[in-house]
Structure 1
Amino acid sequence: MAKLFAYGTLKDIDTQQTIFGRILKGEHDVLKGFTVSEIKIEEEFGIAKYPILEESENPTDVVSGMLFEITEEDIHLADTYEGLHYRRIEVKLESGEVAWAYIVTN
């Protein structure tokens, strides 16, 4: 099993149902040294805004989110969902857990 830190659309139960075919069970957790900003992505019906993690110079910056336990297959489904604007990295959360998170692609 793998761990996923979700801070944006992957926390949404409708999105989870669409991507994974189920609602994920998780716990609240915090990621330090990051901020959430917004990106605009052109979609079929116009421009949509999405949250995106960015590493911060300030270790006191925090992002609240959910920590989910997922399968390796789920990781590949999430990678496909996140697309080219996001990349997956390992992060250490305030709880001490190590998880995957999606950040801005540079």
Structure 2
Amino acid sequence: MSTTAPVYSEQLFSYGTLQLEAVQLSTFGRKLEGQADEMPGYSMTLLKIDNPDVVATSGKTHHPVVTYSGNPADKVGGAVFAISEEELAHADAYEVADYRRDRVRLASGVLAWVYVAVDSATPPPV
């Protein structure tokens, strides 16, 4: 009996709680293998999280959040993960309404999804 391996067709960049093993296990049902990368043109601050389920999963009341600055000297470090479309939907469900998902080009050249502040300026198309 053969089983079909999952297709990890999406790239997801995380600079925050999606890098935590407990969050990955809860959100994706597995520990993700990531590669270090950077997101140029963005700056990071902290956001107070009011959703008790998200706080319980991450163990944190404040999560990092990024906004587009357009300044190439601004860089946010993190990790890029290969995930499936289904896992991307799980990540969407994990993130609170203060975030939106954008496509960005990382310093490595990889195109990846990332969660940014909902009121962030929109970067030029990639």
- The normalised TM-score by structure 2 is 0.79
Does residue 1:67 correspond to 2:80, yes or no? yes
**1:57 & 1:75 partners in 2: Cα distance?**
26
Percentage of matched positions with identical amino acids: 39
Counterpart position of 2:24: 16
Q: Which runs of 4+ in 1 moved over 2 A?
A: 43-47
**1:31 & 1:75 partners in 2: Cα distance?**
19
Counterpart position of 1:54: 67
**1:31 & 1:43 partners in 2: Cα distance?**
27
Matching residue within 36, 39, 48 for 1:31? 39
Matching residue within 57, 64, 85 for 2:98? 85
**1:42 & 1:17 partners in 2: Cα distance?**
21
Unaligned runs of 5+ in 1: none
- Preserved contact between residue 15 and residue 77 of structure 2 (Cα < 8 Å): yes
Unaligned runs of 5+ in 2: 1-8, 120-126
Aligned-residue Cα RMSD (Å) equals 1.7
What SS does structure 2 have at the residue aligned with 1:65? strand
Does residue 1:102 correspond to 2:115, yes or no? yes
Identify the structure with the greater strand proportion: 1
Report how many aligned residue pairs link the two structures. 106
**1:17 & 1:72 partners in 2: Cα distance?**
17
**What whole-Å deviation, never above 9, does each CA across 1:58-99 have from its counterpart, x for those lacking one?**
211001100100000011000000021110000000100000
1:43 deviates by: 3.4
